[in-house]
Amino acid sequence: MFQTVAIAALIVTFVGIALHWLATPAGGPRCPLSGAVHVFSLLLIEQKSSLLGALKKLCYLVAMVCFVVLAITGFYPTLVKGEHISGFLMYIHATFAPVFALCLAILAITWAGSNRFSFADAPWLTRLLRRVTRLRMPADDRPWRCSLAVYKVAFWAILFLALPLILSIVVSMFHLLGTDWQYFTLAAHRWISLVFAIAVIVHTYLAIRLRMACRE
């Protein structure tokens, strides 16, 4: 069941992103290859001159590499071969996992501030609340920046999902849970990783979109 749902969910995600990209072009090179290089440079190479900025970028770079490795090693055997992860794929998965967790923790600290929600993120919500609750809230008539709001939601979703994602595996390594719970944590890890991966993909896509929008 997981195999079917995961494949469908990932296809829907990628198709959705592709349709969104086509429906709202963000500019940049039209050639796919040079476009990819452009995107890569936007995300990783171009950086602010401060040390913290460079570290944040480096951390993000490592996290992205880890994510790609974890996603491939984790989803490939399950989705393509219909098997559980094992052997060298599992060794690689388990090696990159703590590095990813560490990077995620650093990104949580360094990025959380800039990802705080404000009234400007969802002016329609402010208007709705003002109308329904008659509360006095600051009015903001600027157009809604959907991408930014979803970007922030994706960020917090990543952090929120990271907790059960990591703990579901770590807890199973302690002599705490019996077989039934072991199966549960394994299933939880699998399902959460799917949602987590979608959140990361959406977050990355929107990060690129926002960076491109800033350059324009």
Partner 1 sequence: MKRRLIALLVVSSALAASALAAEEAAKLLGDESDGSRAQPIHLIPLYAENDKGEKGSQIDPNDPLAMPFSTRWTCGECHSYGMIHAGWHFNSVDANVPAGRPGEPWLYFNSKLGVQVPLSYRSWPGLHRPERLGLSPAEFTKIFGRHMPGGGPGEVTPTETEALAEQYVTGKLEVNCLACHNAHPGQDQGSANGYAIQVSKTNFRWAAAASCEFADVTGSVTDASPTYDPFFADESEEGAPRVIYDKKAFDAKGNVFMDIVWEAPKERCYFCHSDLFCGENDQKTEKWCADEDIHMTAGLTCVDCHRNGLHHDIVRGYEGEAESSSNPMAAASSCRGCHLGDENGDRETGGRLGAPVPEHKGIPTVHFERLTCTACHSGPWPSDEPVLAKTSRAHRLGTINVSKEVRILPHIYAPVFVKEPVADANSPARIGPHKLVWPAFWGTLDANDSVQLIDLAVVDKVVGAALKDVPVVPTGDWSELKEEQVAAVLKALAESGETKPVYVTGGTLFELDDTGAVTSRKDHPAAAPYAWPLAHNVRPAAQSLGVGKCTVCHATKSPFFFGKVAVDSPIVAVSNLAKAQYEFQKTSLARTWFFAFSFIFRPWFKVVAIGATAVIGVVLLLYGLKALGAVAKVLSEQE
Task: Look at residues 60, 21, 55 and name the one whose alpha carbon lies nearest to residue 40.
Answer: 60
**Least gap, CB of 70 to partner 1 (angstroms):** 13
> Exposed e or buried b for every residue in 131-156, given b needs 16+ CB within 10 A?
eeeeeeeeebeeeeeebbbbbbbbbb
The smaller minimum CB distance to partner 1, of residues 174 and 216, is found at: 174
Q: Is 15 helix (H, G, I), strand (E, B) or coil?
A: helix
**Least gap, CB of 27 to partner 1 (angstroms):** 33
**Least gap, CB of 143 to partner 1 (angstroms):** 23
The smaller minimum CB distance to partner 1, of residues 37 and 163, is found at: 163
**Least gap, CB of 172 to partner 1 (angstroms):** 6
Residues that bind partner 1 (CB under 8 A): 84, 86-88, 91, 94-95, 97-98, 101-102, 104-105, 108-109, 112, 116-117, 135-137, 156, 159-160, 162-163, 166-167, 169-170, 172-179, 182-183, 186
Instruction: Judge contact between 106 and 31, C-beta under 8 A.
Output: no
The smaller minimum CB distance to partner 1, of residues 49 and 174, is found at: 174
The smaller minimum CB distance to partner 1, of residues 74 and 208, is found at: 74
> Exposed e or buried b for every residue in 177-191, given b needs 16+ CB within 10 A?
eeeeeeeebeebbbb
**CB-count burial class (<10 Å; 0-12, 13-18, 19+) for 158:** buried
For tokens 């997981």, the residue is: 2
The smaller minimum CB distance to partner 1, of residues 9 and 129, is found at: 129
The smaller minimum CB distance to partner 1, of residues 75 and 164, is found at: 164
Task: Look at residues 71, 154, 64 and name the one whose alpha carbon lies nearest to residue 100.
Answer: 64
**Least gap, CB of 175 to partner 1 (angstroms):** 3
**Least gap, CB of 210 to partner 1 (angstroms):** 20
